[in-house]
Structure 1
Amino acid sequence: MSTIVADSTPELLPGRLGNLTPEQQHALDEFKELIKAEGIFVSERHDEHLLLRFLRARKFHIQNTHKMFVDCENWRKELKVDELRENFVFEEEEAVRKCYPRYYHNVDKKGRPIYIENVGAIDIKTLFKVTDEERMTKQHVLSYEKLIVDRMPACTRQAGHHIEQCCTIIDLKGVSLRQFANAFGFIKRTSAIAQNYYPEMMGKMYVINAPMMFTSVWGMVKPLLDEVTVKKIVILGGNYKDTLLADIEAENLPNELGGNCECADRGGCRVGEPGPWQDPRYQNKVEKTA
């Protein structure tokens, strides 16, 4: 079971409900009225936390936010996301996990779900023997939907304050230039889904076991990124343990990453996916803000 966060009333970050400037509040109200007038507002999905994520992603520019939001809604209709949530079954999950390990595992000290991806262990050739890119994309989308519908609300209830972002750990241990090149196309496409349709959901990202080739590339890419995004990303080599443990309780971090958890009763950390979303006390009990 994950540790309940000690600080249940953290300082609200700018651009969130409860910490909006008059201009930001006006932009939220105007944007909400605009999509209501256009008939694309869905009260069950579009709470003010979600609308603010889109507004922050476009720096509260109404026209740019509107385009991003409409593009997202059109994409959801084209992919039939609501139908996927009801009907799609990813039977190859276990086989995929063996050649592309990625999973959620407890929460960090701020109450955010921890997402772990072992990029160094990706075997793209084997991956697309047991599945295909279309099914992987659908599974990726459903993972985000589950994050919003199940994981985040459970984390919110446990933490005692709104949770809408993740703490991500990208492990590059064992990655080779060829392996990275093979996987890059797929990673880029799934990253685009996150950026375009699930914005502002990354709270922190740790890239660990980063080889020299990656740090060199990062040095060139960093100046091209938004300053806010850059501040969320920490590049670490093999000596990452103390940095991770500064933000994550040892009992919430897998043993293989320097923590104490082994999920022995769940078949291992990569399979068990422990967290408040597994606790009946926190499941499906968070009311949305209209």
Structure 2
Amino acid sequence: MFRIWSSSRHDQEDDSLQQAQKKVNELRAATGPLSGRSLQYCTDACLKRYLEARNWNMEKSKKMLEESLKWRSTYKPEEIRWHEVATEGETGKLYRANFHDREGRSVLILRPGMQNTASIDNQMRHLVYLIENAILNLPDDQEQMAWLIDFTGWTLSTSVPIRSARETVNILQNHYPERLAIAFLYNPPRIFEAFWKVVKYFLETKTFHKVKFVYPNNNASVELMKQYFDEENLPKEFGGKAILKYDHEEFSRLMAQDDVKTSALWGSGEKLHQATNVYSGAEVAPEPANLALPAS
């Protein structure tokens, strides 16, 4: 009995995979010939994410993908280098954590109360750089990242402008579909509710359900966070046991090393010479050439 049920389930899974691959092939054909980085970007995994983001509707997925390819051709996110956005990161308002969640996914830590600049364009370049970096550091079996948002020090005077929040949502939803696994908003102040009432209207239903509010005195929300993170890795600011300390110079050294990997992956060798450790004056040695291209 069990063997029959197991075989039937296996057949259903195979059929689902075949149907998904068929849709991926259809989207690739509908998109037309690609070259260069657009071709490199449009892996099967990438096309599947666009299909999932639009509930497997071919026309909507095609339109979304084409808009992303147009955006990437002009914005060139793979060419942004740390030294170009390092000023934005001086306070540690946004950075990739040195730990992963329980699924091995990259984690971005956001601290909006540490905002230190006024240029929204530069803030967005910094965000895009860190999203690309989080993707670069995903293990082979993962495609998504987690966001931890710490509201320590957040006030209306230091809050992210609505335009900035809207652009953040636009970039994440429209150009990095299905890249966000979950976002925890940890202990936001009561006054944040007014800000959230505006921001939530920018969110698509799928994204909205990935945003979780966590309060230290709410056992249910704390337990939910523990399902995603090991307490030993999770910083105290998020209810864990680890000490959170952002070292800008050390993080800059790590990003300079990752910039070399990015250059190798995307063939943007013209910026390779700029991926240096400006804090110690030592040039970063290139990584081996046989780097695996992350699903994108």
What's the TM-score, normalizing by structure 2?
0.68
Q: CA deviation at 1:65?
A: 0.9
Q: Deviations over 1:264-286 (max 9, x none)?
A: 7x848994899xx99xxxx9754
Counterpart contact for 2:94–2:127, Cα < 8 Å: no
Aligned to 1:111: 104
Change in Cα spacing, 1:236 to 1:272, as seen in structure 2 (3 Å) is farther
Shift of 1:109: 0.6
| 2:137 maps to amino acid | R
Once the two structures are TM-superposed, the CA of residue 202 in structure 1 deviates from its matched residue by 0.8
Of residues 128, 140, 145, the one that matches 1:141 is 128
The match for 2:188 among 210, 214, 219 is 210
Higher relative contact order (CA 8 A, sep 6+): 1
After TM superposition, the structure 1 = structure 2 runs for residues 146-161 of structure 1, keeping only pairs within 5 Å, are 146-148=133-135, 150-152=136-138, 155-156=139-140
Answer whether contact 2:215 2:222 (CA < 8 A) is retained: no
TM-superposed deviation, 1:287 = 5.9
- The sequence identity of aligned pairs, in percent, is 21
Give the alignment partner of residue 169 of structure 1, picking from 135, 143, 148: 148
- Work out the CA distance in 1 between the residues paired with 2:201 and 2:14: 32
> Are 1:188 and 2:188 an aligned pair?
no
Aligned to 1:233: 211
Distance in 2, Cα, partners of 1:92 & 1:287: 24
C-alpha distance in 1 between matches for 2:76 and 2:68: 12
- Aligned 8 A contact 1:120 1:175 in 2: yes
> SS of the counterpart of 2:243?
coil
Matched with 2:60 is 64
Indicate how the Cα distance of structure 1 residues 189 and 229 shifts in structure 2: closer, same or farther if over 3 A, else same.
closer
2:125 partner letter? K
One-letter amino acid of the counterpart of residue 20, structure 1: S
Task: Indicate the SS of the match to 1:90.
Answer: helix
Local SS of the residue matching 2:83: coil
Q: CA deviation at 1:249?
A: 1.0
Coordinate RMSD, CA, aligned: 3.9
CA 1:288–1:255: 2 relative to 1, 3 Å: closer
* Contact 1:107–1:113 under 8 Å retained in 2: yes
User: CA 1:64–1:270 in structure 2 vs 1: closer, same or farther (change >3 Å)?
Assistant: farther
Shift of 1:207: 0.7
TM-score in terms of structure 1 length: 0.70
1:34 and 2:33 matched? no
Q: Contact (CA 8 Å) 2:169, 2:202: kept in 1 or not? A: no
**Residues 91 and 248 in structure 2, CA contact (< 8 A), matched pair in contact too:** no
Unaligned runs of 5+ in 2: 1-12, 259-288
Q: Deviations over 1:18-46 (max 9, x none)?
A: 783654333212112222x3336844322
Whether the aligned pair in 2 keeps the contact of 1:262 and 1:269 (CA below 8 Å) is no
Which deviates the most, 44-53 or 183-192?
183-192
Alignment-mate amino acid for residue 45 of structure 1: Y
**Residue in 2 aligned with 1:74?**
70
Query: Structure 2 matches for 1:3-22, cutoff 5 A?
Result: 20=16
**Whole-Å Cα distance in 2 between the matches of residues 237 and 151 of structure 1?**
29
Secondary structure class of the residue paired with 2:149:
strand
**Quick one: structure 1 residues 260 and 98, their matched pair in 2 at CA, closer, same or farther if it must change by over 3 Å?**
same
Amino acid at match of 2:234: L
* Structure possessing the higher radius of gyration over alpha carbons: 2
Answer whether contact 2:173 2:207 (CA < 8 A) is retained. Answer: no
- Counterparts of 2:208 and 2:14 in 1: how far apart (Å)? 25
8 A Cα contact 1:262 1:268, kept in partner: no
Task: Note the C-alpha offset of 1:139.
Answer: 2.8
Q: 1:44 is paired with a residue of what secondary structure? A: helix
Contact 2:166 2:202 in 1 (8 A): no
Cα distance per residue 1:127-176 (max 9 Å; x no partner): 13xxx43333333222222233x211xx23xxxxx211111111223322
Q: Which runs of 5+ in 1 are unaligned?
A: 1-16, 157-161
Contact 2:112 2:154 survives alignment (8 Å): yes
Q: How far is 1:77 from its partner?
A: 1.5
Aligned pair count?
Answer: 250
**Partner-residue secondary structure (3-state), 1:179:** coil
User: Is 2:260 the partner of 1:260?
Assistant: no
